[in-house]
Amino acid sequence: MQGLGLGLCRGVLVAAARYRSLQNAHLLSVATPHVAAPRRAVSGASKDTGERQKGFDLSLLDFLVCPLSRKPLRYEEATNELINEDLGIAYPIIDGIPNMIPQDARMIQRETTGPEVKQT
Contact indicator for 4, 17 with CB cutoff of 8 Å: no
CA-to-CA dists, residue 116 to 45, 88, 89, 102, 111, angstroms: 38, 18, 21, 29, 11
Alpha-carbon span 63 to 85, nearest angstrom: 17
pLDDT tens readout for residues 7-45: 666 677 777 667 666 655 555 454 544 544 444 444 444
Cα-to-chain-centroid distance, residue 28: 26
> Does the pLDDT value for residue 112 go beyond 60?
no
Cα-to-chain-centroid distance, residue 107: 17
CA-to-CA dists, residue 107 to 6, 70, 75, 93, angstroms: 20, 17, 15, 15
Query: What pLDDT, on a 0 to 100 scale, did the predictor assign at position 40?
Result: 45
This prediction's pTM: 0.50
Q: Nearest Cα to 81, choosing from 68, 70, 69, 94?
A: 94
